[in-house]
């Protein structure tokens, strides 16, 4: 399956967008297999048709849109975009490191005026715009995955978690439906007595319950924050490499 997906989707899209979407629909797969066994239904052929007809691209777009939607709320709850916060005087307790980064950014971007602490307090919106300009420039200069592998890794980690949390309402719905479907089918099999309970159905029951609990208890907004700041720190760490390359 990974090889087939690789023909259509790049590494980031698969890891950050496709995999969260697949985790959402995974619980419903087990009862479907129990109801419609593979010998009766060509699941491989159906999967191939879905991929070739754009199904993979569709689910990645849904994952991205829902992830981006929740991202705005996350940034607001955190007090701003992590990269912008870490470039600000209020968001970085390490004043020495912050001064070094500002000095190097002034050299890299002479047209961008980075504010002092007092100027940031006086005009916070203008300061945020200056920091955003720096972050946008850094992203444009660090798109080469081979040159910045650690940054790419952190970006994938953050995108995966953000999109998974964005898909949380759908994940809860699918897991709940799958759990109810499995319970209903097991009850029917018990009443019929003559039909043995499918092991696949039991696995589906356990899997659906596990996923539902994970969506409700584990996959919270706070789960995304560490990876967001890890990516932000790694992006700002590229300032040193870019500054050295400019010499």
pLDDT tens, 28-68? 877 776 666 655 444 444 444 344 434 556 778 888 899 99
Least confident of 86-95, 172-181, 185-194: 185-194
pLDDT over 70 at 185, yes or no: yes
Number of structural domains (the chain) is: 1
pLDDT over 50 at 188, yes or no: yes
pLDDT over 50 at 154, yes or no: yes
- The reported pLDDT for the residue numbered 246 is 73
- Determine the Cα–Cα distance for residues 109 and 62; give it in Å rounded to an integer: 36
Find the domain containing 170 and state its range.
2-246
- Determine the Cα–Cα distance for residues 120 and 124; give it in Å rounded to an integer: 5
pLDDT over 80 at 82, yes or no: yes
Provide the 3-class DSSP secondary structure of residue 93: coil
Mean pLDDT of the chain: 83
Whole-model pTM? 0.85
Beta strands in the chain (DSSP E): none
Provide the 3-class DSSP secondary structure of residue 91: coil
Q: Which two tokens stand for residue 232?
A: 């932000």
In the DSSP assignment, the letter for residue 90 is: T
- For 115, phi then psi, to 5°, come to -80, 155
Percent of the residues in the chain that have a pLDDT greater than 70, as a whole number:
83
């Amino acid at each position: 399956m990974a090889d087939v997906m690789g023909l259509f989707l790049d590494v980031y899209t698969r890891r950050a967008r496709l995999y969260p979407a697949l985790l959402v629909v995974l619980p419903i797969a087990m009862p479907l297999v129990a109801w419609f066994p593979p010998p009766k239904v060509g699941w491989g052929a159906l999967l191939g048709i879905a991929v070739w007809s754009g199904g993979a691209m569709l689910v990645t777009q849904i994952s991205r849109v829902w992830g981006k939607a929740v991202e705005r709320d996350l940034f607001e709850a955190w007090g701003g975009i992590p990269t912008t916060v870490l470039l600000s005087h209020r968001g970085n307790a390490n004043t020495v490191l912050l001064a070094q980064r500002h000095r190097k950014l002034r050299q890299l971007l002479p047209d961008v005026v980075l504010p002092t602490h007092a100027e940031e307090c006086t005009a916070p919106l203008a300061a945020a715009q200056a920091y955003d300009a720096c972050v946008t420039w850094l992203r444009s200069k660090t798109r080469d995955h081979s040159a910045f592998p650690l940054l790419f890794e952190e970006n994938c980690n953050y995108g995966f978690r953000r999109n998974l949390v964005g898909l949380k309402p759908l994940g809860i719905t699918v897991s709940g439906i799958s759990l109810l479907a499995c319970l209903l089918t097991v009850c029917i099999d018990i009443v019929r007595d003559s039909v043995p309970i499918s092991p696949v159905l039991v696995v589906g029951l356990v899997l659906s319950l596990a996923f539902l609990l994970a969506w409700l208890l584990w996959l919270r907004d706070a789960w995304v924050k560490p990876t967001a700041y890890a990516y932000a720190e790694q992006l700002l760490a590229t300032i040193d490499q870019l500054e050295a390359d400019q010499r």
